[in-house]
Amino acid sequence: MKKQYLIYVLFVLVLSNCGLHKSYAQLTKYVNPFIGTAGPGNTYPGVAVPFGMVQLSPDIGIPGWDRISGYYYKDSIISGFSHTHLSGTGAGDLYDILVMPTNSRFSKRIKDNNFIPFSRFSHDKETAVPGYYAVDLLDFGIKAELTATARTGIHKYTFPKDNASQIHIDLGYALNWDAPTDTYINVVDKTTIEGYRKSTGWAKVQRVYFVIKLSKPFKSYQIFKNDSLTTNPSKGIKTKIILNYDTAAAEVIVLKTGLSTAAIEGAYKSLAVEAPDFNFEGYKTKASALWEKELNKIQIETPDDTKKKIFYTMMYQSMLAPTLLSDCNGNYKGANDSIINAKDFDRYDTFSLWDTYRAAHPLYTILHPKRVSDMINSLLAHYKETGLLPVWSLQGNETNMMIGNHAIPVIVDAYFKGIKNFDTDLAYRACKESSMVNSRQLDTYKTLGYVPADDSNENWSVSKTLEYAYDDWCLAQFAKALHKLSDYEYFLNRSENWRNLYDAKSKFMRPKLENGNFINNFIPKEYTPYFCESNAWQYFWSVPQNIEGLINVLGGNDAFEKKLDTMFSLKPVKGDKLPIFSTGMIGQYAHGNEPSHHVAYLYNYIGKPWKTQKLVRDILTTQYKNAPNGHCGNEDCGQMSSWYVLSSLGFYPVNPAQGVYSFGSPLFSTATINLENGKKFIIKAFNNNTKNSYIQSIELNGQKIERNYITQKEINEGGILVFNMGLLPNKNTKNNMALSSKIFN
């Protein structure tokens, strides 16, 4: 057996290395940044490097839900290119420092984009790949090209012959929730402009300091304050500058913008360190190489190019957030509005934790453990700045969007997975103190054992109770590991607070009033203020810390299976009011929103894994497309894409802090994870095709296993996981041992 296994390992490694040689430096070709730019995805097609501060992307310039990311594929105009964007959120913020090249060929203005310059464009003359975006501004005959480093945005404009060519830099430009509060422009010389844009919006106190360098001196300029012509420098709520040029036919002007959230000096340092010259092609090549390196952390083999394009686009989108907050000096705008220096780590922000704790952060622990260390230190920095861990932090602000204390599972998961270089004692203190405050309705949660329903306004009481209970379980495990046994007992007891909202009559988690009575007129499929962007069907399953307990209160495995079956078959009917976030519907399951994301895997907990396998394969193949409307819901800063990446490999973390991944149905014949520790974890799926979605048997490192999960430890050690696939379910009881919530990596 050992000899056969060694031969088998050698054979697979040879195949893997052949695949590496064959695909190296080509994976960016499979990324389609337009996925999610139509439909509900709310992604942007512009440029960034992995987890970078800059997201330089085209703006349509017209507000609205469809244009939350600044861009909407169905539109036909572009009003400029701004340097910061959110990927796939429902929040319209950022859009800092809009740049737009123009000339004398076109001067039309429209009310819809607030009368700023614009041009028509065509997707036939538009290109987007990782680290590079290009579009022809048809009305001006100008070609715009964009690339980026971590902290700089680089523009290349190719002008036609015109003695009235211009570059507009608009700090007053705002869209959706964003609004400038204080802006400043200073012309240093004929190739250098410095300044800042302070703004409010979803994140209340935002600061972006910038320095712009141009490859060609401008011949003159006009500078404006609140739309009135003024002199240099200009300071006001809205400022802008127009740079005037004479251009020859096909003349190129490169504009590069360095950013900092701390100071203009930091923006100068960004340019000096990351973009010292005007070699646009060089920066484009470096950006592509950075993406190539990250994408090669997983190499898949499939004859289906469409699946390959979806997979690598999902990998790409999983790395657009969190984003850098600290500059090259280590300085950043802190969540207490002061300037702080990050010592020995890069400070990140854009933590969409209610979304990303579920799959994105577990994926990062596999692919980017070194970067995860900086992310944990960033969460702890937020705690030191505010006294609390973040809920949803952006640009050095707590937005208080969404619910829960989901920095806790991210920190606890990192701790148990051996992520290094953060202060464990500080991390525990941050988790505990954030769980013991009286804000965010934790006061009544601690007193009553649940968050009571409040009919006077939206309070998402059921969802808050369930999310807090899960966070408490995570903290209990942390306490136990640190030998804080009284804390362990306290938080473990709190983790069972979900039971206080379970209604044995309706068999749902039901809103409860402060007096202990359940609310009347309860209809589980209705969307009400008691559930966060969901209904009672979708939130019922949010007890990942104790699936066995949930099964028991429902009446056992058969009752649990029946309820799961109904979840996926009870379709909305005519007259049901479905909110904007109820998308990707399969029965009451909504793949377009996060609370449903683990539910298809729950059949593994009752020994019916073939039902999980069928559902997961269906979701993978029906809810993601290689098209602008390829996301069935908001991409949400990497969560939707991370679900796909993990699930297509064949596993998913039902409990994100357990260190255990539940098996689903792998998409690819071979996938090789190239771990940062130098080892490889290879996943083979034999006899795998569109029809053969059922696992017949599983082997790990040459040994057959009769369980429905794998651990992070096993992945980190490297090795070979083999799925043998088939057309029909394998219902052999021995192969289908129920997964347990009590397993710990």
Nearest CA among 208, 167, 173, 163 for reference residue 190: 167
Are the C-beta atoms of 639 and 358 separated by less than 8 Å? yes
pLDDT in tens, 451-479: 999 877 678 999 999 999 999 999 999 99
Q: Please check whether residues 525 and 666 belong to one and the same domain.
A: yes
Q: What is the CATH number of the domain that holds 549?
A: 3.30.2080.10
Residue 385 lies in a domain: no
| Vertex 239 angle, CA 238 and 244, to 5° | 150
Q: What is the pLDDT of residue 735?
A: 67
Task: Please determine, for residue 582, whether its predicted confidence score (pLDDT) is greater than 80.
Answer: yes
pLDDT in tens, 124-136: 999 999 999 999 9
Helix, strand, coil in percent for the chain, rounding step 5: 30, 25, 45
Are the C-beta atoms of 490 and 430 separated by less than 8 Å? no
CA-to-CA distance for 324 and 641, rounded, in angstroms? 20
Are the C-beta atoms of 332 and 342 separated by less than 8 Å? yes
739 CB-side CA count, 13 A: 29
CA-to-CA distance for 503 and 507, rounded, in angstroms? 5
Q: What is the pLDDT of residue 714?
A: 98
Q: What is the pLDDT of residue 7?
A: 43
Q: What is the pLDDT of residue 3?
A: 42
Residues 6+ apart with CB under 8 A from 138: 119, 120, 121, 122, 125
Task: Please determine, for residue 734, whether its predicted confidence score (pLDDT) is greater than 70.
Answer: no
Query: What is the pTM (predicted TM-score) of this model?
Result: 0.96
Are the C-beta atoms of 653 and 646 separated by less than 8 Å? yes
H helix runs in 568-631, sequence order: 609-622
Q: Considering just the CA atoms, what is the radius of gyration of the chain in Å?
A: 26
Q: What is the CATH number of the domain that holds 238?
A: 2.70.98.10
List C-alpha distances in Å: 725 to 275, 425, 602, 670: 50, 46, 20, 13
Q: At 243, which helix (H) or strand (E)?
A: strand 239-247
Any bridge partners for residue 589, and if so which? 586
Residue 2 lies in a domain: no
CA-to-CA distance for 24 and 14, rounded, in angstroms? 15
Q: What is the mean pLDDT of the chain?
A: 95
Instruction: For residue 281, give the amino acid letter.
Output: E
Residues 6+ apart with CB under 8 A from 653: 358, 359, 362, 598, 646, 660, 661, 662
Tokens at residue 293, please?
A: 């390196």
Q: Please check whether residues 408 and 271 belong to one and the same domain.
A: no
The answer to whether the peptide bond before residue 233 is cis (omega within 30 degrees of 0) is yes
Domain termination residue (choose one: 263, 294, 325): 294
DSSP code string of 687-734: T-SSS--EEEEEEETTEEE-SSEEEHHHHHT-EEEEEEEESS----GG
Q: Please check whether residues 438 and 369 belong to one and the same domain.
A: yes
Least confidently predicted of 13-17, 81-85, 373-377: 13-17
Residues 6+ apart with CB under 8 A from 7: none
Domain termination residue (choose one: 228, 260, 294): 294
Q: Please check whether residues 465 and 541 belong to one and the same domain.
A: yes
Q: What is the pLDDT of residue 246?
A: 98
Q: Please check whether residues 166 and 271 belong to one and the same domain.
A: yes
Nearest CA among 317, 320, 348 for reference residue 332: 348
For the chain, percent of residues with pLDDT exceeding 70 = 96
Q: Please check whether residues 727 and 580 belong to one and the same domain.
A: yes
Domain termination residue (choose one: 279, 294, 309): 294
Task: Please determine, for residue 13, whether its predicted confidence score (pLDDT) is greater than 70.
Answer: no
Q: At 463, which helix (H) or strand (E)?
A: helix 461-481
Tokens at residue 51, please?
A: 């987890």
**What's the mean pLDDT in 605-617?**
97
Q: What is the pLDDT of residue 738?
A: 82
Nearest CA among 142, 231, 152 for reference residue 185: 231
Residues 6+ apart with CB under 8 A from 531: 460, 462, 463, 538, 539
**What's the mean pLDDT in 149-170?**
98
9 — pLDDT class (breaks 50, 70, 90):
low
pLDDT in tens, 372-404: 999 999 999 999 999 999 999 999 999 999 999
Q: Please check whether residues 156 and 267 belong to one and the same domain.
A: yes
pLDDT in tens, 533-546: 999 999 999 999 99
Q: What is the pLDDT of residue 21?
A: 40
> How do beta strands 719-726 and 680-686 pair?
parallel
**What's the mean pLDDT in 560-589?**
94
CA-to-CA distance for 61 and 43, rounded, in angstroms? 15
Q: What is the pLDDT of residue 732?
A: 83
Residue 317 lies in a domain: no
Q: What is the pLDDT of residue 697?
A: 96
Residue 371 lies in a domain: yes
pLDDT in tens, 305-318: 999 999 999 999 99
Nearest CA among 168, 169, 338 for reference residue 261: 338
Task: Give residue 428's domain range.
Answer: 351-380+398-484+507-735
529 — pLDDT class (breaks 50, 70, 90):
very high
**What's the mean pLDDT in 696-706?**
96
Q: Is the dihedral of CA 416, 738, 695, 590 positive or negative?
A: negative
Nearest CA among 3, 242, 254 for reference residue 152: 254
For the chain, percent of residues with pLDDT exceeding 90 = 92
**What's the mean pLDDT in 45-58?**
98
Q: Please check whether residues 541 and 436 belong to one and the same domain.
A: yes
What b/e string do you get for 238-267 counting C-beta neighbours within 10 Å, with b at 16 or more? Answer: bbbbbbebebeeebbbbbbbbbbbbbbebb
CA-to-CA distance for 96 and 404, rounded, in angstroms? 29
Q: Please check whether residues 244 and 361 belong to one and the same domain.
A: no
Residues 6+ apart with CB under 8 A from 2: none
Task: Please determine, for residue 198, whether its predicted confidence score (pLDDT) is greater than 50.
Answer: yes
What b/e string do you get for 585-614 counting C-beta neighbours within 10 Å, with b at 16 or more? Answer: bbbbbbbbbbbbbbbbbbbbbbbbbbbbbb
CA-to-CA distance for 491 and 479, rounded, in angstroms? 9
CA-to-CA distance for 220 and 215, rounded, in angstroms? 15
CA-to-CA distance for 153 and 52, rounded, in angstroms? 10
> How do beta strands 228-230 and 220-225 pair?
antiparallel
Residue 303 lies in a domain: no
Q: Please check whether residues 369 and 260 belong to one and the same domain.
A: no
Q: Is 686 helix (H, G, I), strand (E, B) or coil?
A: strand
Are the C-beta atoms of 77 and 119 separated by less than 8 Å? yes
**What's the mean pLDDT in 83-101?**
97
| Vertex 637 angle, CA 636 and 642, to 5° | 90
CA-to-CA distance for 395 and 324, rounded, in angstroms? 9
**What's the mean pLDDT in 60-69?**
96
Instruction: Find tokens 């083979």 and name the residue.
Output: 684
Residue 110 lies in a domain: yes
Instruction: Find tokens 């800092």 and name the residue.
Output: 96
Domain count, the chain: 2
CA-to-CA distance for 377 and 81, rounded, in angstroms? 32
Are the C-beta atoms of 129 and 33 separated by less than 8 Å? yes
Q: Please check whether residues 425 and 551 belong to one and the same domain.
A: yes
Beta-strand runs (E) in 579-635: 585-586, 589-590
Q: What is the pLDDT of residue 745?
A: 72
Are the C-beta atoms of 599 and 612 separated by less than 8 Å? no
Residue 189 lies in a domain: yes
Q: What is the pLDDT of residue 24?
A: 47
Q: Please check whether residues 359 and 284 belong to one and the same domain.
A: no
Q: What is the pLDDT of residue 102?
A: 98
CA-to-CA distance for 506 and 535, rounded, in angstroms? 14
Are the C-beta atoms of 120 and 207 separated by less than 8 Å? no
51 — pLDDT class (breaks 50, 70, 90):
very high
Q: Is 643 helix (H, G, I), strand (E, B) or coil?
A: helix
Residue 542 lies in a domain: yes
Task: Please determine, for residue 662, whether its predicted confidence score (pLDDT) is greater than 50.
Answer: yes
